[in-house]
Amino acid sequence: MRLLFLAVLRRHTGNAITAQRVRDHLEAAGHVCILKNALDFESPSEISNFIKAESLEAAMALHLYRGGRLLPGHGIPFGIIFGGTDLNEDVKQGEKNKVMGKVLEEARFAVAFTESMKETAQRQWPHAKDKIYVQSQGIATVPNTTFNWDTFLQRSEINQSADNLHVFLLICGLRQVKDPLYLVDAFSEWHQEEPSVYMVIVGPEVDPVFTREVKAKVKRTPGVRLIGEMAREDLHAVVKNCFAVVNSSVSEGMSAAILEAMDLEVPVLARNIPGNAAVVKHEVTGLLFSDPQMLSGPEGEILIQNVLCHPVSTSPQCRERHYAA
């Protein structure tokens, strides 16, 4: 079958990686899957012309509003994969909510990554409750085996021995929904008490105005560093070498960064929002926090040590401390 797959394709963002993974799965199953950036189409008529030109038989969209709104009315069956901001943010806007409800009326199916996402969608659009299914994300990590951690630290202007460092990694595109500044002051405070602690933000510059705000804040904040987007294999190598991965998003569907950290056996500290709480079990598979101060100073260190050395934890740092004891 020849399929159209619409998604917002910003480089190295979670949605783009998820879309590529879904496309690869569909093509491995024998389908022809044409992945297109939803932002490249300004109207449904452009989609209609593309469908005819490519002789497409069906379609899918990742994100009910950004991609889904372009698919009804073309005479081919289509399905939807919820993204995160569609259920957590766009539903609060009346016109977008109405548009998404109409998309679901025509959609053959809709996929949610978690039960909580499914429940949210069913509450919003009860007419579509029987066509919403849960399919968790699958992830694959491919860390670059030749990656040089010391070179990365130098690039990050961290001039300390790697053996004594505690680098907390925040992976996100620089946009407000990811809230990368949420933890900056708390980690800076902790760094000034314990100079081995650093917070490093890694990700593409998605929102130019907000990026300038982030850069200005980081520049004047001790203990916090900002690195641009990285190749996926290099980023996975950074994750593997860091002390823990943090997530400070206001809204998430299912964070690929959290899943990849878990796959690499690296501890996760995540903001307590529904999307993160569906993945991270507090003090079992990670730490959920609702206040930045939970991660700063002596209290934060105690909390984090409890998570890293919980019996369920498989983190290398925890294993090393147990062996040392």
Q: How confident is the model at residue 17 (pLDDT cuts 50, 70, 90)?
A: confident
Query: Which helix (H) or strand (E) segment is 60 a member of?
Result: strand 58-62
Residue 314's pLDDT is what?
42
Give me the helix-helix angle, 94-106 and 115-124, nearest 10°.
Answer: 100
Name the token pair of 218: 């980081």
Residue 215's pLDDT is what?
96
pLDDT in tens, 188-206: 999 998 899 999 999 888 8
Nearest Cα neighbor of 19 from 111, 105, 125 is 111
Q: How confident is the model at residue 223 (pLDDT cuts 50, 70, 90)?
A: very high
Report all structural domains of the chain as residue ranges with CATH numbers, in order of start: 2-134 (3.40.50.2000), 149-316 (3.40.50.2000)
Residue 308's pLDDT is what?
56
Query: Does residue 322 have a pLDDT over 60?
Result: no
Residue 309's pLDDT is what?
57
Specify burial of residue 258 (Cβ count, 10 A radius: 0-12, 13-18, 19+): buried
Q: 152 near 188, Cβ under 8 Å?
A: no
Residue 8's pLDDT is what?
87
